[in-house]
């Protein structure tokens, strides 16, 4: 199977509850340094990790139980294909 590379930039919104949930998740992950969560995250700040967790959950559909809700969180998306 041939794969392609796409660079995508998302503009998202999130609630205070979503922020606090992601922050608690990152704090819990700090207790488990051997987990897959940490792959590729070396040197990132806590704020970067929290925002990445929020984006991951939004883009993975954790917060998107209906199409209207999804459109509330994902405000904008710009993509460009690279070779």
Which of 10, 26, 17 is closest to 59 using CA atoms? 10
- Ranges of beta strands (E only) in the chain are 5-12, 74-82
Say if pTM beats, i.e. exceeds, 0.85.
no
Helices first, then strands: H and E counts in the chain: 3, 2
- Other CB atoms within 10 A of residue 26 CB: 19
Provide the pLDDT for residue 26.
Answer: 94
Provide the pLDDT for residue 8.
Answer: 79
25-56 per-position pLDDT tens digit? 999 999 998 888 888 888 999 999 999 999 88
Provide the pLDDT for residue 1.
Answer: 73
Judged against a pLDDT cut of 90, whether residue 75 lies above it is answered with no
Provide the pLDDT for residue 78.
Answer: 73
Q: What are the extents of the domains in the chain? A: 5-82
């Amino acid at each position: 199977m041939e794969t392609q590379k796409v660079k995508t930039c998302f503009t998202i919104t999130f609630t205070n509850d979503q922020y606090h949930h992601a922050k608690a998740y990152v704090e819990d992950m700090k207790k488990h340094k051997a987990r897959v969560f940490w792959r590729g995250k070396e040197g990132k700040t806590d704020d970067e990790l929290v925002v990445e967790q929020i984006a991951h959950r939004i883009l993975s559909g954790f917060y998107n139980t209906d199409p209207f809700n999804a459109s509330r969180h994902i405000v904008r998306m710009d993509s460009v294909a690279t070779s």
